[in-house]
Structure 1
Amino acid sequence: MPADPSALDLVLHPVRSRIVQQLGGRTRTTAQLREALPDVTQATLYRHVTALLDAGVVTVVEERRVRGATERTLALGDALAHVDQEGLRAMSTAQLASALRVFLADLAADADRALAADAPALRELWGFGRGPIHVDADDLAAIQEGFTALLAPYLEDGGEGKHRVSLATVLLPEPPEPPSAASTQD
């Protein structure tokens, strides 16, 4: 997600968020985006792509003539980056809640599309889990660096026999527990 609040608001739109998801780690032509997002009309798709291009969230990496029209190949632009701790602190509670809801909705929609494909051979690539960890901000930075190093060899298309999977992480801090009645009487 972009750290710039105006770009963040732009990307939080459900259609634009889905476009960004389609471009994550790869390039796509506008025709490929239309195929990947069949429920979005062509005019709506182009309007949202234009908004993302204008904001620098998406960039054109190639243009070519196809049957008299110009087909653009798109990729994520420089304005899109992971929201760091400073960016998260700058977000309002409403923006953070909205960003999380869009993220979860996109994740659920991706899961629905994968399930609709009903590809038993890909079931071994599914996985999800949840568990607590005990960290501070420095620990999270170290974990992020470790993830980056661990995942680096898998970010490019590995070729034959490799499948693209989406790895999503969510960190939800638990609010502190209210003091119990017994501890307040001491």
Structure 2
Amino acid sequence: MEMTGDSRSKISLVTHPVRARVLLTLMRRELTTQEMADLLPDVSKTSLYRHIRELAEAGVIKVVGETAIRGTVEKRFAVQSNAVTFSNEDLLDAGHEEYLRLISGLLESVLAVVQGYLARKEPTLAEDTLFRVNAANLTDEEFWALRKQLTDLLSSARDNPAAPGRRRRVISLLAVPDEGPVSKEEAEK
């Protein structure tokens, strides 16, 4: 991804919990500030406006439409294409602590979506949700192949346009080594 300025500043920008929630709320849709406020009722409007302005100024979100309403202009925002995609170099430059803040902010945002869903007490909980935690023993090559398969699968679903009968779903995957590599001696035991 082309990034203007220091990658650490852009990663730092999206690690803030409110900005992470704004980005997740905007992902794959266009919303006005009022619509975002309705979807994020626990965020004060003053704080929300400030974070939207910071994301827009940094080029992470963009104005995709404007409507004149009672003497003011209502703006519709969307996430800028690839604005929150970071290269391996971006992540390495940011370091482990910043990467942890990035993951924590995104997981908190996903948890807020889950909490909102559960608060609605929809009767189709088992059918509408997916929760799996797995552990697998994989070589680096096997992991990279699995990661590519999952990324390709999610990318094809992500590109579905909004349509009657389709429901926006937040899908989150996290994979991380749970321990160091197994030595040849340990594997032979």
SS at match of 2:62: strand
* Deviation, structure 1 residue 144: 4.0
* Deviation, structure 1 residue 19: 0.4
Q: Where does 1:136-151 land on structure 2 (aligned, <5 Å)?
A: 136=140, 138-151=141-154
* Deviation, structure 1 residue 25: 1.1
Letter in 2 for 1:97: L
Does the 8 A contact of 1:7 with 1:79 survive in 2?
Answer: no
The aligned counterpart of 1:171 is 175
* Deviation, structure 1 residue 152: 4.1
RMSD: 2.6
Q: 1:65 to 1:44 in 2, by over 3 A?
A: same
SS at match of 1:120: coil
Offset from partner CA, 1:19-57 (integer Å, 9 cap, x none): 000111111111111111111121111111000001000
The normalised TM-score by structure 1 is: 0.84
* Deviation, structure 1 residue 81: 3.1
Distance 2:149 2:82 in 1: 24
Offset from partner CA, 1:113-150 (integer Å, 9 cap, x none): 110011113540211112123141x5444434433432
Which of 127, 131, 139 does residue 128 from structure 1 map onto? 131
Q: Relative contact order, CA 8 A, sep 6+: which one is greater?
A: 2
Distance 1:117 1:104 in 2: 20
Range that drifts further, 144-153 or 116-125: 144-153
Does the 8 A contact of 1:55 with 1:79 survive in 2?
Answer: no
1:71 aligns with 2:74: yes
Q: Where does 1:96-111 land on structure 2 (aligned, <5 Å)?
A: 96-111=99-114
Does the 8 A contact of 2:91 with 2:99 survive in 1?
Answer: yes
The aligned counterpart of 1:88 is 91
Does the 8 A contact of 1:56 with 1:79 survive in 2?
Answer: no
1:23 aligns with 2:26: yes
Structure 2: runs of 5+ lacking an equivalent: none
The normalised TM-score by structure 2 is: 0.83
Regions of 4+ moved over 4 Å: 138-141
Does the 8 A contact of 1:56 with 1:78 survive in 2?
Answer: no
The aligned counterpart of 1:117 is 120
1:59 aligns with 2:80: no
Does the 8 A contact of 1:58 with 1:76 survive in 2?
Answer: yes
Letter in 1 for 2:61: V
